[in-house]
Structure 1
Amino acid sequence: MTHRISRRSVLAGGAALLSYAAFAPRAFSEEARLRLLWWGSQTRADRTNKVSELFKAANPGVSINGEFLGWSDYWPRLATQVAGGNAPDIIQMDYRYIVEYARRGALAPLDSYLGSVLKVEDFDQVQIKGGSVDGKLYGISLGANSTAMMVNTVAFEEAGVDLPTPATTWDELARMGIEITKAGTRKGYYGLSDGSGVEPLLENWLRQRGKALFTADGKIAYDANDGAEWFAMWQKMRDDKACVPADIQALDQFNIETSPLSLGKAATSYAHSNQLVGYQAINKDKIVLRSHALIGKDAKGGHYRKPSMFFSVSAKSSDPELGAKYVNFFVKDPDAAKVLGVERGVPESASVRDALAPSLDDLGRAALEYVSGLGALAGELPPPPPSGAGEAELALRRVAEQVAFGQLDAKQGGETLVDEVTQILSRG
């Protein structure tokens, strides 16, 4: 049985481990072991477990100890294990952190396995590049996704409010939020979650303004005025009751289970498209994907197709080739793909996508169609975020909460955010 590691377990240093056999095409005279660490919901854990059962049936002689946590607990856990020389063999890695971990020497370069162990010739090469740092490959994309708004269709319908469209502006979305809140069809319910501390949402808004989170050389790419406008927009939505108040938003630990949508406090949430599967699994009302609002009717969208996450191999792994073979099975085996669906994103392999398409359920098709149907709303993949980007994200969350609780006004919030992020990035 797979176990989620709770925040208490992380702080205590404890871990619940899953042992099961895994993939290896060669026979082993002695049991070979791999450790796997990932973030995600129970739904993701169940699918990962099922794929690992396929490894067990086909490849005796290898065992895997698997651990999973929520997003907020995952990164402290990984940092602790890496610092302690006890990193897992297979690390689920994010685009935001891959530069930092690669340059720290925590990840093994995978270039020598290309073409032999890693059969990724039919991958979108932009996504392959996304897993590369300083000319070396450190991560294999498990799928493509894009940021999205999760929308509770039943709550919108009950309030008599039409669903957002790709042409919906932020002003229009705020009015929708106000209407849902005022409708009062659900007690203590609001139209929107507060997205002021959601970095991908801020990035989308900045990209529409011709800006970005970071420059190509790893510096902050927006200024205090941008930050002030962002926080002021959300302050107005809180004042107008378009979105949840600060005390409700503070319950969000940035995972599916604690989002205002899943807690029954708001009709929307902000996540990545592949998370539709997880959201629907714990919400009885129908959830759909919608693109983010536009800053104006003539604005260009701020989306892009992002590597949803990578599998990387630890530089400390005792058998990096076995790790690479495990990764290859995960992203290339058709039966594995049918189990995984699009929960980790739309598969990068063209052959796997073709094999998977007929077996997708409605949720899987919706996620695939969302990513492939963004059209003009999607632009180029930005460079991988610099070292310190993860800490910069935490700074945004912290400052956004301070503004929401009235400890800072919007102008002060913009200045504080830019000062903190600048200092973080200067440390390299």
Structure 2
Amino acid sequence: MTLRFDRRQFLMGSSALAAAGAMGLRPAFGQDGRLRLIFWGGQDRADRTYKVADLYTEQNGGDIEGEFLAWNDYWTKLATQVAGGNAPNIIQMDYRYIVEYATRSAIRPLDQFVGGPLQLTDFDEDQLEGGKVGGQLFGISLGANSVAVLVNNTAFEEVGVEPPNRDSTYDDYMAMGEAFNSANIRGGMKAISDASGTEPMLDNWLRQHGLALYTADGKLGFGEEEAVEWFRMWASLREAGVCVDAESQALDTGAMESTMVILGKSATMPSNSNQLVAYQAISQDDLTIVNYPRIAAGAGGGHYRKPSMFFSVGGSEANAQAAAEFISFFVNNPDAAQILGVERGIPCSAAVREALAPTLDEKSQIALNFVANLGDLLGPLPPPPPPAAGEIDSSLLRTISQEIAFGARSPEDGARAFVTDATAILERA
């Protein structure tokens, strides 16, 4: 039967999507074999997902209805659906939110399906562990990835300076920024976006210092002193014109099309290894990825391989098995793997990886090799973030970083407020 995706949903904007949600979406009913799927991402991810869902319904029957949204809109829409008792059957889930959704019973444990409708026999063990909460499996990893810096090679060629490499430090980015300022290409493109409010980059910077964003028992893994140093570093980069100004960074709404590299505001920005393929699809420049900057020459250990995202199961209990069957197809079927490539990360099935690798295009090969060759940059996978991590990221870190960038707070005041408020949020949660 046919796949029912409203592809216009992504273009409606957050206010229209909220209105659509208020009108109600068709619930999932076990008796008619219909599944609902929700995920975040851009058009390239959506096209790949639709094709795999089409392939699944051609071979297995049933209907799959779904929607995709930009990251910033996704979590509000999903939370609204879950709170209204209208959760989709198949939910794209992130590592930072999986504990919260699992502990609130918004997604279902999948252990009962493993070995039956859900086959995971040759899955990477670390990717399985990443989807567990309290010893139960709540998420199936759709790919392994790592944080990365997206690099516009074409822009660096225009400036006449070497792009960052695996040994580049934050000080090296300062030098690159000076070269970009002197060249003044494309109306004043900067070397890097303002990543002071980017949680993964803060996490990586802390890990290189031997610290952590969060401890295993759900507390902050750093203090005010480190927060001050972090915000001061970005204030220095901002004042030197190395990173974009506050007005430019505020244009980034979370959609790929509004990011600094795609808008031509900066030549680099924090990203993820699996996103190279999608970003290249919407850029005329030659793009690549490298690791995050080192805090000093030879410093490493900030990166880790994590599940790029999961599929989790929510919605009607009657459709839980059917949802598990679809997820199993999504991560194991060789034809599905050819469609998906590495856009969501490196496949977690050894057999799928082996079959896919020789067929990958140049950018997909770059992503695969990046994740496979982190070397001294690689550290252990941290524990899942605490339930309040999402609020700290979206409502606190981003807000305070913007306030500092616009001059409403000093780095010292912002750091004090961040640590105090983040600690209170964690205690309240």
| Global fold match (TM > 0.5) | yes
Matching residue of 1:306: 306
Matches within 5 A, 1:211-226: 211-226=211-226
Identity of aligned residues (%): 50
CA contact (8 A) 2:92 2:312 kept: yes
CA–CA distance in structure 2, aligned partners of residues 362 and 30 of structure 1: 45
Matches within 5 A, 1:273-422: 273-314=273-314, 316-394=316-394, 395-422=396-423
CA–CA distance in structure 2, aligned partners of residues 49 and 157 of structure 1: 37
Shift of 1:189: 1.5
Q: Does 1:6 align with 2:7?
A: no
Q: Deviations over 1:164-214 (max 9, x none)?
A: 111111111121122113211211321111110110011000000001110
SS at match of 1:261: helix
SS at match of 1:391: helix
Q: Deviations over 1:79-123 (max 9, x none)?
A: 000000000000000000000000001111100111112211211
Q: Deviations over 1:368-419 (max 9, x none)?
A: 0110011110111000011011001011111100000011111111111111
Shift of 1:7: 1.4
CA–CA distance in structure 1, aligned partners of residues 182 and 317 of structure 2: 56
Q: Deviations over 1:296-327 (max 9, x none)?
A: 11312300001000000005443101010010
Shift of 1:16: 11
Shift of 1:421: 1.0
CA contact (8 A) 2:277 2:343 kept: yes
CA contact (8 A) 1:16 1:67 kept: no
Amino acid across the alignment from 2:290: R
CA–CA distance in structure 2, aligned partners of residues 271 and 289 of structure 1: 8
Name stretches of at least 5 consecutive residues in structure 1 with no aligned partner.
20-28
Q: Does 1:259 align with 2:244?
A: no
Matching residue of 1:25: none
CA–CA distance in structure 1, aligned partners of residues 284 and 41 of structure 2: 20
Matching residue of 2:87: 87
CA–CA distance in structure 2, aligned partners of residues 182 and 133 of structure 1: 51
Matching residue of 2:177: 177
TM-score of the aligned structures, taking structure 1 as reference length: 0.95
Amino acid across the alignment from 1:140: I
Matches within 5 A, 1:10-29: 10-14=17-21
SS at match of 1:149: strand
SS at match of 1:296: coil
Cα distance 1:148–1:15, how it changes in 2: closer, same or farther (>3 A)?
farther
CA contact (8 A) 2:231 2:401 kept: yes
Matches within 5 A, 1:125-144: 125-144=125-144
Matching residue of 2:165: 165
CA–CA distance in structure 1, aligned partners of residues 23 and 36 of structure 2: 12
CA contact (8 A) 1:38 1:68 kept: yes
After superposing the two structures, state which structure 1 stretch, 324-333 or 250-259, moved more.
250-259
Matches within 5 A, 1:79-118: 79-118=79-118
SS at match of 2:47: helix
CA contact (8 A) 2:21 2:81 kept: no
Q: Does 1:44 align with 2:51?
A: no
After superposing the two structures, state which structure 1 stretch, 111-120 or 150-159, moved more.
111-120
Q: Deviations over 1:323-351 (max 9, x none)?
A: 10010000000000000000011000000
Amino acid across the alignment from 2:309: M
Amino acid across the alignment from 1:120: L
SS at match of 1:326: helix
Q: Deviations over 1:248-279 (max 9, x none)?
A: 00111133111111111111111111011111
Q: Deviations over 1:64-86 (max 9, x none)?
A: 11110000000010100000000
After superposing the two structures, state which structure 1 stretch, 229-238 or 2-11, moved more.
2-11
SS at match of 1:126: helix
Matching residue of 2:59: 58
CA–CA distance in structure 1, aligned partners of residues 352 and 24 of structure 2: 30
Matching residue of 1:23: none
**How large is the Cα RMSD of the aligned pairs?**
1.8
SS at match of 2:263: coil
CA contact (8 A) 1:106 1:316 kept: no
TM-score of the aligned structures, taking structure 2 as reference length: 0.95
For these two proteins, the number of residue pairs brought into alignment is 419
SS at match of 2:358: helix
